[in-house]
Amino acid sequence: MQFQVNRLDLLAAVRNAEKVAQHQSKLEIMNGILLEADTTAGEVALTATNFEASIWCRIPAEVSAGGMTVVNAKLLYGMATLMKGENLTINHASKNSAQVTFTDEKSTFVINCLPGGDYPRPTESSMAPDARIPLSNICSLAKKTAFAVATTDDKPVLQCISVQLGQGIAAATDGTKMMMVRMEKKEKENASTATAELLLPATNLQLLASMSTDDDIYSVSVTDRHIIFAKEQMAFSMRRIEGTFIQPAQIIKAVSAQFTAIADAGLMYEAIDLVQTGMDNMPIGIALGQNTIRFVSETATNRAYHEIEAAVTAPTPEDGFYYNAAGLLKLFSTLTGNVKIEMDAKGMLLVKTQKEVYFQLPQRKPVIDRTAKAKKTASAEKAEKNIKTVKNAPKANRDKAAKTKEAA
């Protein structure tokens, strides 16, 4: 195998493939990227897989001799980054050779490789699904929904983002909170009448987002076991998850707002971040007052309190309601501008913008054990008194000795 390729084209393809390849597999070949040179097509294909996700990239090349080999992903990426020439010449002397040579105008790298025929090529790479549905804004979709998925492995559906193509809705939930987003559509997407509901594993969608921009329009197709995203010279597949996802509209409809306010998302984020810092993941209290929103968090030894200005139309009871701070902090880190806060009589929370709706269940108000603090304070005072007694003991002994001497 021998070919010449633009170094930056190769680097861009390797950067994406390296993200998918495994790095600590006991099977050395799984830590690599498959390189295939095609004399007829005049291109080089790169393939990487971790069995949960796979990627194929094609780049134009001047191919002198076709062939294939597997090169360690990290090593290949590092080498392509360090070399500075405009073009690279890659030479794999023979099918049985254990080394491949990379050469530019000023340097040469010789690295070990493995037989390309031994690489577990993903079967979906050769499939040609019938239906293809356009989808864009992958980065925004992942950013605004992935934080709401479950982190445990017992319910795979809750680790997914539900994307309803056609309706333009995406949602994620872990059972206690839910994020629903109305997706923006490009002109090409508006022309499509296809509909489908896809369950996309959040980790794989975030991986795809890391190699995409919101302007990229993917052609999405579905097989029995995989979901494939294709664009120009790249295709990315992820394992298809089967299951029943909640209906976001029904969850939102179940909240009958009794307490409402409008506030700035940036101020909400700053207030929550300030109040929850150093509070050992304690729930955060939120109460709507007269043109203010009050945030409070406390432990047995600490208490934090902060208020922000807001347009409150229906205040809550004085204590308000308590919520998981981590979920709210991640939510407001993704939002900008004004948001509408709604709570029902039981404290179920909705945060709304024109395109997003966030739902979160309340938590019980934490019971703070003040006696522990009192005991700790009393214990500290007693210890301090004992220390003073010990420090003063030598002087008292000296005074007693002096008085005894005078009496004598």
First to last CA, the chain: 110
On whether both 105 and 134 belong to a single domain, the answer is: no
Sign of CA dihedral 371, 374, 378, 383: positive
Contact 10, 35 (CB under 8 A): no
**Total-model pTM:** 0.83
On whether both 75 and 135 belong to a single domain, the answer is: no
Instruction: Let me know if residue 387 belongs to a domain.
Output: no
Total domains, the chain? 3
On whether both 274 and 225 belong to a single domain, the answer is: no
What is the DSSP-derived secondary structure letter of residue 371? H
pLDDT digits (tens, 9 = 90+) for 353-404: 999 999 999 999 988 776 655 555 555 565 555 554 544 555 555 454 454 4
Query: Where does the pLDDT of residue 223 fall: very low under 50, low under 70, confident under 90, or very high at 90 and above?
Result: confident
Is it the case that residue 72 has pLDDT exceeding 60?
Answer: yes
Contact 332, 341 (CB under 8 A): no
On whether both 289 and 201 belong to a single domain, the answer is: no
Instruction: Let me know if residue 301 belongs to a domain.
Output: yes
* The one-letter amino acid at 269: Y
Q: Provide the token pair at 82.
A: 């360090």
Q: What distance in Å separates the CA atoms of residue 303 and residue 21, rounded to the nearest whole number?
A: 47
Q: What distance in Å separates the CA atoms of residue 91 and residue 69, rounded to the nearest whole number?
A: 10
Which residues, in sequence order, are CB contacts of 251 under 8 Å at separation 6+?
Answer: 178, 359
Query: What phi-psi label fits residue 396: left (phi over 0), alpha (psi between -120 and 50 degrees) or beta?
Result: alpha
Q: Could you tell me the residue range of the domain that residue 353 belongs to?
A: 255-360
| Residue ranges in 200-298 assigned as alpha helix (H) | 202-209, 248-253, 265-276
Lowest mean pLDDT among 64-73, 103-112, 316-325, 397-406: 397-406
Q: Provide the token pair at 312.
A: 């409150």
Residue count of the chain: 408
Degrees to nearest 5, angle at CA 191 with 188 and 192 = 95
Within its chain, how far is the Cα of 35 from the centroid?
Answer: 30
Residue 152 has a pLDDT of: 84
What is the DSSP-derived secondary structure letter of residue 366? P
Nearest to 59 by CA among 72, 77, 41: 41
pLDDT digits (tens, 9 = 90+) for 136-186: 899 999 999 999 999 887 889 999 999 987 778 999 999 999 999 998 766
| Residue ranges in 258-369 assigned as alpha helix (H) | 265-276, 325-333
On whether both 28 and 106 belong to a single domain, the answer is: yes
On whether both 107 and 195 belong to a single domain, the answer is: no
Q: Which CATH number goes with the domain that contains 108?
A: 3.10.150.10
Instruction: Let me know if residue 245 belongs to a domain.
Output: no
Phi (first) and psi of residue 356, to 5 degrees: -125, 145
On whether both 212 and 116 belong to a single domain, the answer is: no
Nearest to 262 by CA among 285, 292, 284: 292
